[in-house]
Amino acid sequence: MHTFRICCNKGVHPLAYFPDQNAVAINLQQLLRSAAGLLLAGSLALPGLEAAAAAPAEIQKSLETAARASTPGFGGLSAERGQRFFSSTHGNDWSCTSCHTPTPLAPGKHAKTGREIAPLAPAANPQRFTDAAKVEKWFNRNCNDVLGRVCTAQEKGDVLAYLMSLAK
């Protein structure tokens, strides 16, 4: 209460509200904590934000749902099939392993530019498969490079099942 009264006197420097540095630190901590709380509450309350913060399992689930709807005789996603798909060529020069290596727990290297690519497996890189829009963008681009067409939901789901099966 006391600090509030001082705060509103004209001519007092804003930082003079806080008696000492510890108090400033505590207030910053409280501020950060409530900001984190708001963010969490916001993402739970607003469906529009869901896509921005998805877990690999959620992205897998939506690929599985799409595969079930579009694949005749769909019998579930397969990590084994995903591994085969990932390491094979599909009519062009490159396979997925050309850039992401046959061990996606390790960093990859772009087959054309030579630039390092962070590991693709979520166990080695927690940012992977957490942003549905990013996942879609790169699946589209890379499938076009490797297959000359977009991948089907089942192909993408299988690849993700394979990548999620890899443990550090």
Residues in contact with ligand HEC by CB under 6 A are 94, 96, 98-100, 110-112, 117-118, 128-129, 134-135, 138-139, 142-143, 145-146, 159
Q: What's the distance, Cα to Cα, between the start and end of the chain in Å?
A: 52
In the complex, the smallest distance separating the C-beta of residue 56 from ligand HEC, rounded to whole angstroms, is 8
| Residue number with the smallest Cβ distance to ligand HEC | 96
Q: Which is nearer to ligand HEC, 27 or 65 (CB)?
A: 65
Q: Which is nearer to ligand HEC, 74 or 139 (CB)?
A: 139
- Say how far apart CA 101 and CA 60 lie, in whole Å: 22
DSSP conformational letter for 10:
T
In the complex, the smallest distance separating the C-beta of residue 79 from ligand HEC, rounded to whole angstroms, is 13
> From residue 69, how far is each of 10, 62, 65, 152 by CA, in Å?
66, 11, 6, 11
Q: Which is nearer to ligand HEC, 33 or 110 (CB)?
A: 110
Q: Name the CA dihedral angle for 135, 138, 142, 148, rounded to a multiple of 10 degrees.
A: 90
In the complex, the smallest distance separating the C-beta of residue 141 from ligand HEC, rounded to whole angstroms, is 7
| Residue whose entry in the numeric block shows the structure tokens 């599909």 | 90
In the complex, the smallest distance separating the C-beta of residue 90 from ligand HEC, rounded to whole angstroms, is 8
Name residue 35's amino acid.
Answer: A
Q: Helices in the chain by DSSP H: which ranges? A: 2-7, 21-45, 56-70, 79-87, 97-100, 132-147, 153-165
In the complex, the smallest distance separating the C-beta of residue 24 from ligand HEC, rounded to whole angstroms, is 38
Q: Which is nearer to ligand HEC, 33 or 134 (CB)?
A: 134
Q: Which is nearer to ligand HEC, 23 or 138 (CB)?
A: 138
